[in-house]
């Protein structure tokens, strides 16, 4: 009896964990689906570049400590790479739809 209760509880919990994979459009996670616009991703890229240049100037003018600059540089660089990969993937998928 306890075994059956444990199995049912586990299945119930697992169903809630996997619901986001099936609820979003095309079986994607809902949060992932919000980044489908090339324009918004290009805007984010531009914004990140502006922040990077701004922070680089602050560091060059000794208004930022080296450690703080390194942390910001790392964050902005990684975020830019992530957005660029996402944008490339979206463009690749659009190209595949036109071919097929």
- Count of other CB atoms within 10 angstroms of residue 48: 19
What's the start-to-end Cα distance of the chain, in Å?
Answer: 53
The predicted model gives 18-41 an average pLDDT of 65
In the chain, where do the E strands start and end? none
Domain boundaries defined on the chain: 36-100
pLDDT tens digits, 46-59 = 999 999 999 999 99
Is pLDDT above 70 for 96? yes
**Residue percentage of the chain with pLDDT more than 70:** 79
> Measured between alpha carbons, how far is 78 from 82 in angstroms, rounded to an integer?
6
> Measured between alpha carbons, how far is 54 from 66 in angstroms, rounded to an integer?
15
């Amino acid at each position: 009896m306890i075994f059956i209760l444990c199995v049912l509880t586990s299945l119930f919990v697992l169903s809630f964990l996997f619901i986001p994979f099936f609820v979003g459009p095309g079986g994607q996670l809902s949060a992932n689906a919000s980044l489908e616009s090339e324009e918004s991703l290009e805007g984010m890229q531009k914004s990140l570049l502006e922040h990077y240049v701004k922070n680089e100037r602050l560091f060059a003018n000794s208004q930022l400590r080296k450690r703080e600059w390194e942390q910001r540089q790392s964050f902005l660089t990684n975020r830019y790479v992530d957005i660029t990969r996402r944008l490339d993937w979206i463009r690749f998928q659009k190209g595949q739809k036109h071919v097929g």
